[in-house]
Amino acid sequence: MKVKSLNKSKSKNSDFTIKDEIFGIEPNKNVILRVVNWQLSKRQQGNHKVKSRSEVKSTTAKMYRQKGGGRARHGAASVVQFRGGGVVHGPLPRSHSHKLPKKIRLLGLKSALSQKAKNNNILIFNIEKISKKTSEIVKTFSQEGLKKVLLVFGKNDKQDDLSLAIRNIPLADAINQVGLNVYDVLKKDHILFTKEGLKELEDRLSKWLKIEINIMKLI
Q: What is the pLDDT of residues 77-102, one digit of tens each?
A: 899 999 889 999 999 999 999 999 99
| Centroid of chain to Cα 145 | 25
Residue 215: pLDDT above 50? no
CB-based contacts of 61, cutoff 8 Å, min separation 6: none
What integer best gives the mean pLDDT of the chain?
Answer: 85
Q: List domains and CATH numbers for the chain.
A: 2-27+101-218 (3.40.1370.10)
Average pLDDT over residues 32-57: 93
CB-based contacts of 181, cutoff 8 Å, min separation 6: 39, 109
Q: Give how far Cα 132 sits from Cα of 129, 135, 159, 161, 163, Å.
A: 10, 9, 11, 5, 9
Residue 29: pLDDT above 90? yes
Residue 193: pLDDT above 60? yes
Average pLDDT over residues 39-63: 91
Rounded Cα gap, residues 113 and 192, in angstroms: 11
Predicted TM-score of the model (pTM): 0.80
Rounded Cα gap, residues 207 and 64, in angstroms: 74
Residue 11: pLDDT above 60? no
Residue 33: pLDDT above 90? yes
pLDDT score for 98:
93
Reported as a pLDDT band with limits 50, 70 and 90, residue 159 is low
* Residue 49 or residue 154, greater confidence: 49
pLDDT score for 218:
46
Q: What is the pLDDT of residues 17-28, one digit of tens each?
A: 888 888 999 999
pLDDT score for 12:
53
